[in-house]
Amino acid sequence: MAKTYQYCVAENWGKGFIDHVESQRITFASFPGNVWQVPAYNKHGNLWIAKVAGAVKTKDEAQAIVDAEVQAAQATWDALPAEEKTDNNPRPADITLEE
Amino acid sequence: MATYLGTHGSKIQNYTTDPDNPNTGEVWYNETANTLKFQYPTVTTSGSWRTGGTMNTARYGIWGAGTYTAGLGFGGNESPGLSGKTESYNGVSWTELNDLNDSRSGLSGAGVTNTAALAFGGDSPPTTTNTETWNGTNWTEVNNLNTARLDLGGFGSNTSALAGGGSLPSPTTADTELWNGTNWTEVNNLNTARNAVGCAGIVNTDGLFFGGYNNITDTESWNGTNWTEVANLNTGRSYFGGSGSNNTSALAFGGYVPPGNVANTELWNGTAWTETTDLSGTIRHQGSSLTNATNALSFSGLDPSNVTTATEEWTGAGASVGAWSTGGTMNTARSGSAGSSAGTQTAGLVISGYSTTVVTNVESYNGTNWTEITDVNTGRGSSGAGAGTTTSALFSGGDSGSPTTDTELWNGSNWTEVNNMNTSRRGLSGFGADNTAALAFGGNPNPSSVLTDTELWNGTNWTEVNNLNNGRSSMSGAGVSTVGIGFGGFNPGALTNTETWNGTNWTEVNDLNVARNDMGGCGTYTDALGFGGVGPPGRFANTEEWNGVSWAETSDLSTARDDMANVLGASVLGLCAGGSTGSATGATEEWSATSITTKTVSTD
């Protein structure tokens, strides 16, 4: 099956990490563990990964990073006192990355 | 030999790499890539409809004139009863003005603004020749049409109009008449007799008729003398909306295709009709602004069985596209901070909040970097309310171990404790121009209840004023103490509710598209941005833009988050600072309502 997305790990350094032109050209999404998702087979996605020196990950590798981060956040949430586990502070949900 | 310098008055600059911030329209030569490049605005490739302000009186068989921001609707059938009512649209709301002298339905009209228009024909009953001219205040009876008819078409202005087709009431007619500002004159007929047509044109020498009853698809182009058959509509229909400036640019929308209504929208480019984005709902017998295919109105009508007051606004392809980019990273990652609501993308404060514990830190942004400045006296998490600018700000409420009324005032150098709020609360929202005028609203005094309470700060004291209609915590907002907007929130469960504040009362208005709480917000009560937030199924990156009437989805944040510093910056250049992605973040994103793209001049 053809991929829709590609993944990399890159640390957001702030200003200029994603600029307006890049943001207009492609859709970015970030996930726990500094995992970034951009369109696959896309020149602008490839150029952005190169610009930020992103460490390219397969979808499964990226999923493992995200899972580890989410599980840590869930453990932190589970340790909260009951009065802080409100509807307004939901338990971090599992995240499933798309191919 | 002509040179670029001679023709355009400036040389093309050579660069080894593309310039950092070229101006729109700027042309340069990249001598590394050996390519000629230019900068142009990024715009939408297709049009869209969005909700507009509702009319005061629902009716069908109404006619319209003017533009998307200066529209006019008049006449119709209020079901029951013929209507002479006239309403004017300013891009946000409809206002009732003086009535037609002759109430009627199935009329036609012309007019390029909402201050100068013409109404003619219709069913009063009986079928009438009456013509009236509008001067922005009153309708005045003028010389009548030669042929009485209803469900006729028309376009032009109050000094240069065309009337064509219609029913007598039976049979349909192909008769065409021209108005010169004083009299109607019979001219060459349509090729196809018809009624309930769509129309486009702003003068009586250049226009278009399309569609008609019995699913007519025929389109005819008028050149001032003759009608010529041109390419057909894709969907034949009657009693629908039309808008366009001449016989090369028109829009057809909605209408009646037995047995029901359609929402189909088609765009005419002078050669062919192309299907484009549908109306939000099916509608027929509606009014429409007649004069522009890029910005148009569809208002009132039958939807399909009820007479409605609904308005939809069309924005064609070519509208600016906004986008988020990453900004400087705060020194202290945090969520639940307050922001300086009247700050800007290049001058804003983020105040206190929760990192791994409650922090007292305050940081100032200059558009590039965050700098730590003087701490607040009492650190608070859970969204204390912020207002003001980098030199004159206010910080109130929040959670400093328990919900608090504490208020601190920033004068550009120091934070000073001042008079407290009347009601302690956390998860409140607030905005204001500076430290002398602010509004705080909503929140919760304990985990099991929410507040409607609103308080107004006058520089010295907080005063209780009229409450929100829907109590909630963790809402967002934008504005100043005299006019603002509050949206989203929690009670319990994420909400879409939106209310506007006019300095005295909160009024319920159109909801967000996506229910969420702990969003970010910026802008004004007529032009705001709401972004991020949390609600089922988790954190959002969604961004919605408010135009004074309704919310429309636009480009997402790159990082989904909630509980960011509330209300910071203008809607066209907003700032999303910090928040929670599961843990506190210091990442910021900057919104630009317009963006630009570098293109290489093709040599193919």
Average pLDDT score, chain B: 91
Tokens of B203: 């003068």
CATH 2.120.10.80 placement within chain B: 48-315, 336-592
Contact B546, B531 (CB under 8 A): no
State whether B328 and A15 contact (CB < 8 Å). yes
CA distance B329 to chain A (A): 5
Report which of B521, B567, B474, B580 is spatially closest to residue A87, judged by C-alpha positions.
B474
Q: Tell me what percent of the residues of chain B surpass a pLDDT of 90.
A: 74
Contact B232, B273 (CB under 8 A): yes
Question: What average pLDDT does range B245-257 have in this prediction?
Answer: 96
Question: DSSP class of residue B157?
Answer: -
d(C-alpha B289, C-alpha B297), whole Å: 5
State whether A29 and B558 contact (CB < 8 Å). yes
Three-state secondary structure of B537-571: CEECCCEEEECCCCEEEECCCCCCCECCCCCCECC
Residues 6+ apart with CB under 8 A from B459: B435, B436, B437
pLDDT band at B92 (very low <50, low <70, confident <90, very high): confident
Order of all β-strands in the sheet with B407-410: B385-388, B393-396, B407-410, B415-418
Please report the pLDDT score of residue B32 as a whole number. 79
Average pLDDT score, chain A: 89
Please report the pLDDT score of residue B119 as a whole number. 98
State whether B560 and A27 contact (CB < 8 Å). no
Tens-place pLDDT, residues B306-358 = 999 999 999 898 877 788 999 999 999 999 999 988 888 889 999 999 998 99
Tokens of B492: 């319990």
Q: Is the pLDDT of residue B596 over 80?
A: no
Give whole-number Cα distances, B241 to A39, B47, B254, in Å: 39, 16, 6
- Looking at beta carbons, which residues of chain A come within 8 Å of B596? 20-21
Please report the pLDDT score of residue B431 as a whole number. 93
DSSP element (H, E) containing B70? none
Identify the CATH homologous superfamily for domain B48-315: Kelch-type beta propeller (2.120.10.80)
d(C-alpha B587, C-alpha B576), whole Å: 9
Residues 346-375 of B with CB under 8 A from A: 368-369
Give the residue from A24, A37, A44 with the most B CB atoms within 10 Å of its CB, the best one to mutate: A24
d(C-alpha B213, C-alpha B315), whole Å: 27
Least confident of B30-34, B126-130, B208-212, B562-566: B30-34
- Looking at beta carbons, which residues of chain B come within 8 Å of A15? 326-328, 368-369
Question: What average pLDDT does range B165-184 have in this prediction?
Answer: 95
DSSP element (H, E) containing B118? strand B117-120
Report which of B352, B474, B584 is spatially closest to residue A73, judged by C-alpha positions.
B584
Tracing tokens 């930020």 back to the chain, one arrives at A52
Contact B292, B319 (CB under 8 A): no
Contact B283, B263 (CB under 8 A): yes
Question: What average pLDDT does range B554-582 have in this prediction?
Answer: 85
Q: CA nearest A70 in B: which residue?
A: B582
d(C-alpha B577, C-alpha B589), whole Å: 7
Q: Given CB atoms, is B447 within the 8 Å cutoff of chain A?
A: yes
CA distance A43 to chain B (A): 14
State whether B558 and A28 contact (CB < 8 Å). yes
Question: What average pLDDT does range B470-499 have in this prediction?
Answer: 94
Please report the pLDDT score of residue B210 as a whole number. 98
Q: How far from the centroid of its chain's Cα atoms is residue B175's Cα?
A: 39
Tokens of B477: 């907002």
Please report the pLDDT score of residue B566 as a whole number. 67
Tens-place pLDDT, residues B127-140 = 999 999 999 999 99
d(C-alpha B475, C-alpha B181), whole Å: 54
d(C-alpha B242, C-alpha B201), whole Å: 10
pLDDT band at B213 (very low <50, low <70, confident <90, very high): very high
Tens-place pLDDT, residues B418-475 = 999 999 999 999 999 999 999 999 999 988 899 999 999 999 999 999 999 999 999 9
d(C-alpha B310, C-alpha B58), whole Å: 8
Question: What average pLDDT does range B67-83 have in this prediction?
Answer: 95
For chain A, what are the domain ranges? Answer: 5-84
The helix/strand/coil state of A68 is helix
Contact B597, B579 (CB under 8 A): no
Answer whether the bond into residue B447 is a cis peptide, omega within 30°: no
CA distance A31 to chain B (A): 7
Contact A64, A96 (CB under 8 A): no
Tokens of B403: 């919900």
Question: What average pLDDT does range B71-75 have in this prediction?
Answer: 97
Residues 6+ apart with CB under 8 A from A58: A7
Please report the pLDDT score of residue B235 as a whole number. 97
pTM score: 0.76
DSSP B464-482: EEPPPSS--BS-EEEEETT
Task: Name the CATH topology of B336-592.
Answer: Neuraminidase (2.120.10)
Q: Tell me what percent of the residues of chain B surpass a pLDDT of 70.
A: 94
d(C-alpha A51, C-alpha A10), whole Å: 10
Q: Could you tell me which residues are beta bridge partners of residue B416?
A: B409
Give the residue from B356, B491, B534, B558 with the most A CB atoms within 10 Å of its CB, the best one to mutate: B558
State whether B447 and A86 contact (CB < 8 Å). yes
- Looking at beta carbons, which residues of chain B come within 8 Å of A28? 558
Contact B339, B327 (CB under 8 A): no
Query: Backbone phi, then psi, for A83, in 5-degree steps?
Result: -70, -15
Question: DSSP class of residue B135?
Answer: -
Least confident of A6-10, B4-8, B271-275: B4-8
Q: Going residue by residue through chain A, which has 99 residues, state the pLDDT in tens, using 9 for 90 and above.
A: 578 899 999 999 888 899 877 887 788 999 999 999 999 988 889 999 999 999 999 999 999 999 999 999 899 989 988 877 776 677 888 999 998
Per the rule left: phi > 0, alpha: psi between -120 and 50, beta: everything else, B202 is alpha
ipTM at complex level: 0.78
pLDDT band at B9 (very low <50, low <70, confident <90, very high): low
d(C-alpha B534, C-alpha B33), whole Å: 45
Least confident of B184-193, B338-347, B497-506: B338-347
Order of all β-strands in the sheet with B86-89: B63-66, B71-74, B86-89, B94-97
d(C-alpha B283, C-alpha B254), whole Å: 5
Residues 479-508 of B with CB under 8 A from A: 490, 492-493
pLDDT band at B400 (very low <50, low <70, confident <90, very high): confident
Q: How far from the centroid of its chain's Cα atoms is residue B508's Cα?
A: 17
Report which of A55, A18, A30, A25 is spatially closest to residue A43, judged by C-alpha positions.
A25
- Looking at beta carbons, which residues of chain B come within 8 Å of A30? 558-560, 581
Considering only residues B31 and B249, tell me which one the structure prediction assigns the higher pLDDT.
B249
Report which of B492, B491, B539 is spatially closest to residue B514, judged by C-alpha positions.
B539
Q: Is the pLDDT of residue B2 over 80?
A: no
d(C-alpha B78, C-alpha B80), whole Å: 5
- Looking at beta carbons, which residues of chain B come within 8 Å of A32? 581-582
